[in-house]
Structure 1
Amino acid sequence: MAGLKRPSPGRAFAAIAVPIAAVLLALLPDRAFSQERTLTLDEAYRLAVASHERVALAGEGMKQAEADLGKTIARVLPNITAEGSYTRYTSEKSSAAFVIQPKSSTNAELRITQPLYSGGKEWAIQRQARLQIKSARAGLEGAQEGVLLDTSRSYYGVLKAQKDLAIKKAALRRAEERLDVAKARLKVGEVTRSAVLRAEAEMAGAEAELIKSGNSLENAKTLLKRMTAIEDSFTVSEPPPLPLAVKPAAELVDVALKERYDYSQRLFEEKAATEGITVARAGFKPSLKLEGLYTWRDQEPATTFLLEESASGTLRLTYPIFEGFLRKAELNEARSNLREAELRRLGLRRDIEVQIRESLNNVSAVEALVESFRRQLAFAEEDYKMVFEQFRFGVATTVDVIDAENTLVSAQSSYANAVYDLELAKIDLLYVTGTLVPGVKE
């Protein structure tokens, strides 16, 4: 056993990692991609809007608001109630020729109540309910756009992961090529064994990076599946770049104030709070309602002065005099609610201005980054070609070609990420202006 030579750590790692990576690379093109569906961004949008529970929850909120409107309409419609009773007495009571208490009696009543006036409260509540429906509808549209934004981020996350996987595959191929060159130069005695070992270690590292990149792609797809409810395997196609005519911030703010659903919600809430003051003030005014009553009675035996049927109408006027300062407290609360709604709207308006300026700055910055990384990538590709040729003919060292490789991979990743970040920055700008992907929700 003493004559056996212990393998180096780099060789041992390569011996394990190479078969694993070879199997993965063999499987990916044939089995992982050939049977997968191709998902477009528009299709992902539609699937997300149709399936995400955030949209369904907002839809239920709208249905509840519509139900509240039905309840407010019921306040101004007639209220009809019927009531019947049967009474059994312990004994019949009479005096001389008069029957005072029968053995049993049966009563039936039909009552109609029609509100006529309550200080405008019912109509204010009804207007308030209609505003709540509009607010809920804006909330539904806002939930849809929020889902679209999250879907965009998940979709481009998959695109980034796919691009990173392609970069890592290309890096592995270059590592294999460098290993072949190192082995060929070792045979002719141009380099030592350490150059081959270094190339093997670099290839093993490239294989490990490829495995990690594949895992990142699966995680990104899992997140997109969560947004779109897709169960099958899929790949995503790269959408065309979004056209974007950058306008001045003030003009975009005006657009956002017209198009943003959350700002529309704040406007409706403010109007509803104004109606709340009308409701509170109605508590200081009299109320008037009309009541009609029909009564039918039957007794066994009938009492002397039994009136079998009767009908009456009552006009009832109610004026509150003192309720422990309740009405004043309700009015103060309604005024506070209005001030709160105004502050919420004002705060959102200021936030919108900040969001638009930030988004414009992000678009400009990422555009500049894309151009810088594009030039960096062009230089890195040319540099790698030159250094690799020098390494092939013994002019450059292993360290030189590895340094050029690292610079190339970094430039490729930075450029790819910047390109997708630019699209996301455009989408963010569309979102903060309330114009994200028109027509997707129809």
Structure 2
Amino acid sequence: MKRLVIFFLFLAAGAAYGQKVWTLESCIQYARENNLTIRLQALNADLAKLALTREKAAFLPGVQAGATHSYNYGRTVDMYTNEFATDRVRSNNFYIGANITLFNGFNLINSYKKGQLEAEAAVLDAQQTADDISLSIATAYLQVLYSMELVNNARNQLEITNLQVDKNRKMFEAGSVSQGTLLTIEAQAASEESSLISAQNQLEMSYLTLAQMLDLKDLSDFQIAVPDISTIDTASFLLLNPNDVYAFAEKNQPGLLASEYRVQIAERNLSIARAGRYPVLTMNGSLGTGYSGASRRITGYNYNGVDTIGFTSESLTEFVMMPSMSYTYETTPFQDQINDNINKSIGLSLTIPIFSKFNTSIAVRQAKIGIESATINYEQEKLNLQKTIQQAYVDATGAYRKYAATKKQVAALEESFKYMDQRFSVGLATPIDYSDSKNKLATAQSELLQAKYEFIFRTKILDYYLGREIRF
């Protein structure tokens, strides 16, 4: 344990010269801010919110405005003068119109409520992704700590054996022990050196896994902070009940809540599909005006006398006369035409579905299947959650029992090895007995570490489902 503390202090000393040391909290925070999967889920949530805004805006009237500028050639009836025009005629039209849906089988309200559910589900999906990645990072972080302790144990074992190698080499040179004894203990040292290298390789891989989960590009100075987990908290675990954990998780797990929302979304889809059976009532209104180059007005006239246009039926000598006038014209000014040609309209439009080639019926049946599918998915996710919690609890219980038993075993083997080390030092034990005792201790220490970290990992899973912050 003293060597473990020295090793950790050495890491801290290296960090004091500018090297950043990553705590579990900083790792999780960094991932939440930079992980690409989390960022994509956040964008999906933003898209769902925008879609909700669109559904809300569907209640508002649609307003359109427009204008035209055109020239007509050849014989045509001018729409404003209702006269034939044979020359080129310029025309302009201006309009603004609005329409609003008054009733469409409650499609608008159901689409809006569906959009609300989809937006909430998207936010929960993003939160679930962030929580899952946080748990994965905590697992990888824990694996680095476990690998560190394996390296430290392997180094301690090698140091003890190297002391015996030095001692036996001197005794061999003095003729106190045989060459076989020296070779046996040297083989033990070589084996433990190989174990140390394997542990160091595992530590490097654990670091690499954690760094890759954080998407770090520069791994040269990556080091984590080492919390004090020399003792494990068993009191709070013994108070846990897996049924209570599940009851809490069922009401609070973002992914499960999102799945429940999707059942409601499927129900809204059914209401939307049924809306196809109802008539659609819309109201529209418009305001328009225009200008025509064929529109003229009188600007003056001249009296040219009278013209004979006929005679009476009683006498052919009684003629019918009328004044002869000549007029001067000008094109009606643009502003006057715009004011004079204003037209307004307002109306209702009712569309009644009679036969849609079974499209509505098929859509309704599809929506019902969608409800059943979403419900099954929801129930399956609840079942998976319950299994995960039960498995984590059983694994934690087994790890706790193994930890308690192995801890006693390690204590006994440490005393046994001390005794064996003393006997071997004075030649009262064979190298085989010494190696056997030492290997048993190393195996027990490794199993103790494994049980310890397995217990910590499983309890962190339970903490996660209880909504507790993941920390050591």
Gaps of 5+ in 1: 1-24
Shift of the 273–414 alpha-carbon distance from structure 1 to 2, 3 Å rule, reads same
Pick aligned residue for 2:242 from 234, 249, 270: 249
The answer to whether 1:103 aligns with 2:89 is yes
Shift of the 354–98 alpha-carbon distance from structure 1 to 2, 3 Å rule, reads closer
Q: Secondary structure at the match of 1:283?
A: helix
Q: Deviations over 1:135-176 (max 9, x none)?
A: 112112211210111011101010011101101110120121
Q: Deviations over 1:162-215 (max 9, x none)?
A: 101101110120121110121122123222223223333332332232222222
Contact 2:406 2:447 in 1 (8 A): yes
Shift of the 385–145 alpha-carbon distance from structure 1 to 2, 3 Å rule, reads same
Q: Secondary structure at the match of 2:237?
A: coil
1:59 alignment counterpart: 42
1:144-155 superposed matches below 5 A: 144-155=130-141
Following the alignment from structure 1 to structure 2, what is the Cα–Cα distance between the partners of residues 34 and 173? 28
1:343 alignment counterpart: 376
Q: Secondary structure at the match of 2:350?
A: strand
Shift of 1:224: 1.6
The answer to whether 1:43 aligns with 2:26 is yes
Shift of the 398–286 alpha-carbon distance from structure 1 to 2, 3 Å rule, reads same
2:261 alignment counterpart: 268
Contact 1:158 1:236 in 2 (8 A): no
Q: TM-score, normalised by structure 1?
A: 0.86
Aligned amino acid, residue 259 of structure 1: N
Comparing 241-250 and 216-225, the one that deviates more: 241-250
Aligned amino acid, residue 278 of structure 2: K
1:189 alignment counterpart: 175
Aligned amino acid, residue 40 of structure 1: T
Pick aligned residue for 1:85 from 49, 54, 68: 68
Comparing 352-361 and 165-174, the one that deviates more: 352-361
Following the alignment from structure 1 to structure 2, what is the Cα–Cα distance between the partners of residues 225 and 79? 53
Shift of 1:389: 0.9
Comparing 259-268 and 239-248, the one that deviates more: 239-248
Contact 1:290 1:314 in 2 (8 A): yes
Q: Counting strand residues as a fraction of each chain, which structure ranks higher?
A: 2
Contact 1:155 1:236 in 2 (8 A): no
Q: TM-score, normalised by structure 2?
A: 0.81
Q: Deviations over 1:37-69 (max 9, x none)?
A: 433322322222222222212211110110110
Following the alignment from structure 2 to structure 1, what is the Cα–Cα distance between the partners of residues 404 and 412? 13
Following the alignment from structure 1 to structure 2, what is the Cα–Cα distance between the partners of residues 53 and 224? 15
Shift of the 387–50 alpha-carbon distance from structure 1 to 2, 3 Å rule, reads same
Contact 1:145 1:436 in 2 (8 A): no
Shift of the 422–401 alpha-carbon distance from structure 1 to 2, 3 Å rule, reads same
Following the alignment from structure 1 to structure 2, what is the Cα–Cα distance between the partners of residues 32 and 406? 33
Shift of 1:110: 1.2
1:195-206 superposed matches below 5 A: 195-206=181-192
1:177 alignment counterpart: 163
Following the alignment from structure 1 to structure 2, what is the Cα–Cα distance between the partners of residues 269 and 384? 62
1:72 alignment counterpart: 55
1:106-145 superposed matches below 5 A: 106-145=92-131
Contact 1:172 1:207 in 2 (8 A): yes
The answer to whether 1:237 aligns with 2:223 is no
Contact 1:40 1:239 in 2 (8 A): no
Contact 1:261 1:434 in 2 (8 A): no
Following the alignment from structure 1 to structure 2, what is the Cα–Cα distance between the partners of residues 248 and 209? 40
Aligned residues: 411
Aligned amino acid, residue 74 of structure 2: S
Shift of 1:244: 3.0
Q: Secondary structure at the match of 1:419?
A: helix
Contact 2:15 2:21 in 1 (8 A): no
Q: Secondary structure at the match of 2:281?
A: strand
Q: Secondary structure at the match of 1:46?
A: helix
1:277 alignment counterpart: 270
The answer to whether 1:168 aligns with 2:154 is yes
1:292 alignment counterpart: 285
Shift of the 247–173 alpha-carbon distance from structure 1 to 2, 3 Å rule, reads closer
Aligned amino acid, residue 89 of structure 2: K
1:210 alignment counterpart: 196
The answer to whether 1:388 aligns with 2:421 is yes
The answer to whether 1:413 aligns with 2:442 is no
Following the alignment from structure 1 to structure 2, what is the Cα–Cα distance between the partners of residues 93 and 58? 61
Pick aligned residue for 2:460 from 408, 422, 427: 427
Aligned amino acid, residue 391 of structure 1: F
Shift of 1:309: 2.5
Shift of 1:217: 1.3
Shift of the 202–248 alpha-carbon distance from structure 1 to 2, 3 Å rule, reads closer
Following the alignment from structure 1 to structure 2, what is the Cα–Cα distance between the partners of residues 59 and 130? 16
Shift of 1:94: 7.9
1:301 alignment counterpart: 294
The answer to whether 1:324 aligns with 2:357 is yes
Aligned amino acid, residue 80 of structure 1: V
Following the alignment from structure 1 to structure 2, what is the Cα–Cα distance between the partners of residues 94 and 81? 27
Shift of 1:121: 0.4
Gaps of 5+ in 2: 1-6, 298-336
Shift of 1:276: 1.3
Q: Secondary structure at the match of 1:84?
A: strand
Comparing 201-210 and 127-136, the one that deviates more: 201-210
Q: Secondary structure at the match of 1:91?
A: coil
Comparing 319-328 and 102-111, the one that deviates more: 102-111
Shift of the 332–303 alpha-carbon distance from structure 1 to 2, 3 Å rule, reads farther
Shift of 1:404: 1.5
Following the alignment from structure 2 to structure 1, what is the Cα–Cα distance between the partners of residues 110 and 258? 19
Contact 2:21 2:222 in 1 (8 A): no
